[in-house]
Amino acid sequence: MDGEELDIGENTAWVAIAVVAVATLGGAVLLAEWPLWGVQPDADDEPHLVEPADGGTELWPYTSRAMDHSTRTLGINVVFHGDPGDVRTALEERSALRWEEEQVHEGDADSDTVSPDRIEVDPEADDIADIISWEPAEGSVRYSYFEVDGDGQWVDESYELHSGTYLGERLHIRAYDEPQQEWTAVQIHEEHWDWFRLRHTVTGISDSQRELERDFMDQPGVDEVVRLPFENETADSDGWVTNIYFAGAVLPFLLFGVVSRATAARRQTAQFLREHRRAIALGATLFALYTAVRWLGIAGELLFDGVSPKVVAAPLYLALAVGIPAVAYRFGRGSDTTWAFSFAVLGLGAALIVDFVAMGVSVLPLRYILHRAAVLLAVGLIAVGGALAIDDRRPAPLSAGLACWALALLLPVFGYI
């Protein structure tokens, strides 16, 4: 029509962001049920079995949530050949890697969680890798399957061990003693506490396999360490399993130099900081809040060693759930909408990245990436709502952001992501 222009409205951009946030959450929910890693569970009636050693015992080289091959989880990635008692003794007492007995604080754990046992530091260790201490762990039951002379039997873990902190990142071992007591199948993986899912997230099994493998190379009493193809690819594993035969059987730091600036450049920088000080404070506060929750959780776990880590986590989760949107809204007021959104996303996004690096996470499933993207968009919308709240008592971005934030919290807590 002549002389007429299409008015898309000033809120269109924020509506579009809200739609994208909801779409990313929906994608995360869908991908939670999608087989992102490894191969499909065995479709045949006969499970895939391997024979780690001569003797007639075959192993289904996976763990499973139930006594059913269709509910498999992670692949067995280490086999110790030798008396199971000697294997456990070697794990618990060898070198500086001392495994300490300690009371387990909780009997039931969610999803892939393990128990809240503590790290034990060896002050005499010569190498930082030797400071790691493994201790008893108790998590959700995972089964494995053996066949001895054609007779199948499901077994749960003979024992569990872990290294690390409950509310930080850790390595977790599940061990399954072979029925004839000739070898031990082990599933070892790395995991970290996820403050949005309120449970542990497994981030891979190959790095932890290599670490355990290196621990036993050239050790007294170990004849050979080799990898054999079990063809049980899951997570980031290639299906080659470490076999350990007993005798008789740095985060890079980037340094940014400070270079002198011209007087005009200094004035421009000072002006920018003055004009956008609230938006900058918004990003910095979000970064500090999320980072503080992680490290206060770890510190509280170590300090209150007689208290379940979930008791420590409860008030911190509340601070996260309420504090982040409150900070976004409060510091967003009086800010420019564009800069409020940008610094909110930048500050919390930087905190998430630093947290993943600190927890040793190098690979993250796509559904978790989509969820974190939705979290950032929701917080950005809340900050925009705060900026608009001066002129509008009920800005649309604020309502959309709070709704997306609520979804971002509830969906993972109830297991949909």
Reported as a single tens digit per residue, the pLDDT across 235-262 is: 788 899 999 998 765 222 222 233 333 4
How far is C-alpha 365 from the geometric centre of its chain's CA atoms?
Answer: 10
Q: Which of 223, 158, 209, 161 is nearest to 184 (CA)?
A: 158
- CB 276: neighbour CB atoms within 10 A? 18
CA torsion through residues 264, 269, 273, 276, sign? positive
Rounded CA separation 378/177 (Å): 48
Place of tokens 């007021």: 333
Name every residue whose Cβ is closer than 8 Å to that of residue 101 and which is 6 or more positions away in sequence: 135, 136
pLDDT of residue 32: 56
Region 291-297: mean pLDDT is 95
Write the CA distances from 199 to 2, 89, 218, 330, 348, integer angstroms: 59, 30, 37, 30, 20
Report the largest interatomic distance among the alpha carbons of the chain, rounded to a whole angstrom: 92
- CB 258: neighbour CB atoms within 10 A? 5
pLDDT of residue 215: 85
Assign 3-state DSSP to the chain and report helix, strand, coil percentages, each to 5. Answer: 40, 20, 40
Beta bridge partners of 384: none
Range of lowest pLDDT (47-56, 213-222, 314-323, 388-397): 388-397
Rounded CA separation 131/360 (Å): 16
Beta bridge partners of 143: 64
Which structure tokens are listed for 171?
Answer: 């390595």
Which structure tokens are listed for 189?
Answer: 């993986």
Name every residue whose Cβ is closer than 8 Å to that of residue 167 and which is 6 or more positions away in sequence: 193, 294, 297, 298, 300, 301, 309, 312, 313
What 3-state DSSP class applies to 295? helix
Tell me, what DSSP letter sits at residue 194?
E
pLDDT of residue 179: 92
In terms of C-beta density within 10 A (0-12 exposed, 13-18 middle, 19 or more buried), how is residue 186 classed? buried
Region 64-72: mean pLDDT is 92
Place of tokens 């499970």: 47
How far is C-alpha 163 from the geometric centre of its chain's CA atoms?
Answer: 15
Reported as a single tens digit per residue, the pLDDT across 395-407 is: 889 999 999 999 9
pLDDT of residue 394: 74
Region 306-326: mean pLDDT is 94
**pTM score above 0.85:** no
Residue 58 pLDDT grade (very low, low, confident, very high; cuts 50, 70, 90): very high
Reported as a single tens digit per residue, the pLDDT across 157-181 is: 999 988 888 888 888 999 999 999 9
Rounded CA separation 237/209 (Å): 9
Write down the H helix ranges in 70-115.
84-93
Rounded CA separation 16/3 (Å): 27
Reported as a single tens digit per residue, the pLDDT across 354-376 is: 999 999 888 888 889 999 999 99
pLDDT of residue 335: 85
Range of lowest pLDDT (35-39, 67-71, 220-224): 35-39
Tell me, what DSSP letter sits at residue 219?
-
Q: Which amino acid is at 401?
A: G
- CB 9: neighbour CB atoms within 10 A? 9
DSSP string, 114-173: ---PPP---TT-SSGGGG---EE---S--EEEEEETTEEEEE--SEEEEEE-TTSEEEEE
Q: Considering only CA atoms, give the Rg of the chain.
A: 26
Reported as a single tens digit per residue, the pLDDT across 91-150 is: 877 634 444 332 333 333 333 433 333 333 343 444 433 434 555 555 578 999 999 988
What 3-state DSSP class applies to 181? coil
